[in-house]
Amino acid sequence: MVMQTIQSVAPASTDNYTSSGVYVKPAHLIHTANEPLHWKASTRLRQMLARDEIVVAPGVCDGISARCALEAGFTCLYQSGAATTAAKLGQPDLAIATLPDFVQNASVITNLSYSTPLIADADTGFGGPAMVARTVQMYDRAGVAALHIEDQVQTKRCGHLLGKQVVSTEEFLTRIRAAVQARDAIPGCDIVIIARTDSAQVLGMDEAIRRLQAAAAVGADVAFIEGVKTKELLEKTVAALTPTPVLVNVISGGLTPSFTTKEAEQMGAKIIIFSLVSAVAAVHAIREAMYLLKKTGTDHTSARGMDPRAFFEVVGLDEVIEVDRRAGGTALSSI
């Protein structure tokens, strides 16, 4: 069934596709579990996916949240479209943020740790095939290790809200194919292409799985069904999509149960993201601090003893001082 769908929308012949439109992965995109981790973030993520352990990526929305995640010891990060839209624009996830908004935010995060993979939301790819290709190019230049492209209409919304609409399978595959071909056209590029479908809530799980099987056949590296509602459905998804790695998205109060990393790993998922963990925590903490300041007239309670130097240490003060010292500078010798 999937092969018939693929053949009916087979692309023009390219180096990495068979005559029936099935993608043949180049050797530089294939890795084994025993390889030493590479310094390049996208290559490192591919190596991590080849290992037995699940990849855990907390959602970060800005430089401070990324610093906190790195301090906690996470080896992969996730940039949520919802969190980026909220943090940068103060707006809901309703297709308001633009490609430059996402790329600028990603650049801030990737520059904090060059070898730590950042998985980034790319919404619908922001347009037709040419725009999807541009999205891949700009994400790659920003140092993003992986991006996911979905099958919602351009006027999309958060995947955990009601009223979603999706495009046809053919249009979805056009987006994925455009992303894969754009990646392959960049010398040495191995950014991970993740196919995301929001069709489970619209067309049912069977159709969602069929879409991701077709996406994998045209070159998607990882499969992502938004809103997997039960343990059994996640296990069914993993089994149906093997050997394609499956990503699961956990949002407290969202469509997917609050699986732990261990539970997701036992069910066969290869990546688990916690999209809004930092953004929601920030809302709670900032809201509490503002109400306390309004009520008490002081920020003493919310500061919890953190003075300016301690705050700047969270965001890399000691690193900057060391850069200055090693270069022979003296301006930061006393600070």
Encoded amino acid at 65, one letter: S
- In this structure, are residues 298 and 91 in contact, taking their beta carbons and an 8 Å threshold? no
What is the distance between the alpha carbons of residues 333 and 55, in angstroms, rounded to a whole number?
Answer: 40
How many other CB atoms are found less than 10 A from the CB of residue 261?
Answer: 16
DSSP codes joined into one string, 298-313: -SHHHHTT--HHHHHH
Q: Which residues sit opposite 147 in a β-bridge?
A: 120, 193
Residues identified as active-site: 78, 93, 121, 123, 148, 150, 158, 196, 226, 249
Environment class of residue 297 by beta-carbon count within 10 Å: exposed (0-12), middle (13-18) or buried (19+)?
A: exposed
What is the distance between the alpha carbons of residues 185 and 10, in angstroms, rounded to a whole number?
Answer: 19
How many other CB atoms are found less than 10 A from the CB of residue 40?
Answer: 17
What is the distance between the alpha carbons of residues 317 and 310, in angstroms, rounded to a whole number?
Answer: 9
